[in-house]
Amino acid sequence: MSLRRDFGLVFIIFLVEIAVFIFFLDVHLGDGGVNFAGLGSPLNDEDQGIMGSLRSGTDMSSSLVLAPERFALALFMGVFLGLAFEQFYKQESVRPPGGIRTFPLLAILGAMLWTLDPTTHLPFVIGMLAVAGWLGVFYAKRLQAQEADALRAELVVPATNLLAFTIGGVALAQPPWVVIAVATISALLLAGRVQLHRLADNVIADEVFTAAQFLLLAGVALPLLPTTPIAWLGAISPQRMLLAVVVISALSYFSYLVQTYLKPRGGALIAAALGGLYSSTATTVVLARRAHDGHNIRSERAGIILATALMYIRLLLVVAVFNLADAERLLVPSLALFVFSLAIASALYFFAREKFDGEPLAIAAGNPLQLGTALTFAVLFVLVTLATQWAQANYGHTGINILAAIVGFTDIDPFVLSLAQGSVVGMQAGGAAVAILIAAASNDALKAVYALIFGGRRQWLAALALIIIAIVTLVATVFVSFRP
């Protein structure tokens, strides 16, 4: 059994290597400069034209010449898909049509029919209809026979057979990566049957409805919104305002999905890392309360600092989406603060006396894609933008820095996005980056207070560490302000 499994693994690796070799061969042939040492010079114009016809399928003497590397690509991708299909149905008492022999034959058939009429592709279409018709007749007879209970009537079998047939034509008409991507994704979908069905069983109906609302906002409303800036919001347009909501919601939604459905093991540390991508402040409150209730102090203490470390990466990513210049200014200090915070979290974890309990933990949070959550963020974004412009108009750059310190005791995301999108006209170079770091330092101080309030004396080390990180963050503002 072990020998068969090892052979299957080697065979899969061999197919992948062949596909990669064909891909690079196709790319190099497309450059028209293939030159095997000692066998000749680079292709001349005439040879390049012939090779181009072989590869692309242009008309040569009223027929299409099949390129050998494209034929091999169709063949091996058919074998690869057939192997995945066989593994998918190896436990069935009645084997459905298709597999490691049938799919390569279908791919070859599709390639041959594609070459017969390179203009209308009528033979290819007729061949596809013939395969589909045969599958329909096959299933109709099987379901009427005694094997009806053993053979399930599902669309995976005809869909995969038709996909194997179309691989032949696509291998000739499209770039190699299209065929490789289609075959690989199909194989992954076949192999992940159990996991995908388990996921579908665990997903709540409201989650699908909420995700559909988000897709409507991101895929329909966002492109249709006007791009003209609103006068009283500075340089921010309605489209960029909604984009801010989409970016924050998507980043938070990733953390939410992992915590809700994957439920990773690893105790407070894994939960803290995911919570830092969602909200480091909320994570601090949850972990501090957990420690106060008698749970493992070491993991909760280190998790609070770990969430803060991830906050700096989150801020850097959010700023990079809207303003690369500010992101470049924040790159070095953000990464330095991340490493510094990570080092403190490691020290609090590895040098503590308590043992790690390994109890799973998830940071409880609502779905960030809910319409109410998105609207609340949009309102906060507008209010913070107006406050930022008022501070700039009345107190200049100093007013923005003071506002940054105040905003740090609330949700800093609207403030960060407002500055990254250029809501303040006439701000000096590096001013936005300095204000963002001040807000982050203020937020660290707030989390230190939360750690003491909700964790008591058990979390005094975490509170002290957060104050130190806040001070280092303020020092980083000096580095950013003096940078040319």
Convert the pLDDT of each residue in 351-407 to its tens digit: 765 554 445 454 545 566 666 666 777 788 888 888 888 888 888 888 888 998 998
Residue with tokens 């509170």: 463
CB burial class (10 A; 0-12, 13-18, 19+) of residue 460?
middle
Q: Which amino acid is at 164?
A: A
Residue 2: predicted pLDDT = 45
Do 31 and 173 share a structural domain?
Answer: yes
pLDDT digits (tens, 9 = 90+) for 307-339: 899 899 989 988 888 888 888 889 999 999 999
pLDDT digits (tens, 9 = 90+) for 446-473: 989 888 888 777 778 888 999 999 999 9
Residue 53: predicted pLDDT = 47
Let me know: does 41 contact 35? Beta carbons within 8 Å. yes
Specify the 3-state DSSP secondary structure of 21.
helix
Do 249 and 118 share a structural domain?
Answer: no
Please state which of the ranges 59-68, 224-233, 286-295 shows the lowest mean pLDDT. Answer: 59-68
Residue 97: predicted pLDDT = 77
Do 188 and 105 share a structural domain?
Answer: yes
Sign of the CA dihedral with 384 first, then 389, 393, and 399 last? positive
Do 275 and 190 share a structural domain?
Answer: no
- Domain that residue 452 falls in: 204-481
Residue with tokens 């660290």: 444
d(CA 208, CA 202) in angstroms, rounded, equals 11
Mean pLDDT over residues 421-430, rounded? 69
Q: Quick one: pLDDT band at residue 259, thresholds 50, 70, 90?
A: low
Per the structure, the count of domains in the chain is: 2
Residue 67: predicted pLDDT = 72
Residue 442: predicted pLDDT = 92
Specify the DSSP class assigned to residue 429.
T
Residue 437: predicted pLDDT = 92
Do 310 and 404 share a structural domain?
Answer: yes
Residue with tokens 């000692």: 38
Do 227 and 156 share a structural domain?
Answer: no
Residue 6: predicted pLDDT = 43
Residues 6+ apart with CB under 8 A from 362: 259, 260, 263, 271
**Both tokens of residue 73?**
């690509």
Please state, rounded to an integer, the average pLDDT across all residues of the chain.
Answer: 75
How would DSSP label each residue in 49-83? HHHHHHHH---BTTBPPPPHHHHHHHHHHHHHHHH
Specify the DSSP class assigned to residue 369.
T
CA torsion 24-185-16-258 (nearest 10°) is 110
Q: Quick one: pLDDT band at residue 150, thresholds 50, 70, 90?
A: very low
Do 192 and 215 share a structural domain?
Answer: no
Do 296 and 375 share a structural domain?
Answer: yes
Residue 222: predicted pLDDT = 81
Residue ending a domain, choose from 167, 199, 231: 199
Mean pLDDT over residues 232-260, rounded? 73
Residue 368: predicted pLDDT = 60
Residue 330: CA count within 13 A, CB half-sphere: 29
Do 101 and 23 share a structural domain?
Answer: yes
User: Which residues is 60 bridged to in the sheet?
Assistant: 63
pLDDT digits (tens, 9 = 90+) for 190-208: 877 777 777 777 777 677 7
pLDDT at 47 over 70: no
Do 319 and 436 share a structural domain?
Answer: yes
- The residue among 348 and 361 whose pLDDT is bigger is 348
pLDDT at 474 over 80: yes
Mean pLDDT over residues 341-348, rounded? 90
Residue 470: predicted pLDDT = 92
pLDDT digits (tens, 9 = 90+) for 64-120: 556 788 888 888 888 888 888 887 776 665 567 778 888 889 998 998 888 888 788
d(CA 149, CA 134) in angstroms, rounded, equals 21
Residue 91: predicted pLDDT = 61
Do 376 and 473 share a structural domain?
Answer: yes
Do 463 and 345 share a structural domain?
Answer: yes
SS (HEC) of 202-251: HCCHHHHHHHHHHHHHHHHHHHHCCCCCCHHHCCCCHHHHHHHHHHHHHH
Residue 43: predicted pLDDT = 44
Please state which of the ranges 15-19, 313-317, 327-331, 420-424 shows the lowest mean pLDDT. Answer: 15-19
Residue 147: predicted pLDDT = 52
Let me know: does 348 contact 465? Beta carbons within 8 Å. yes
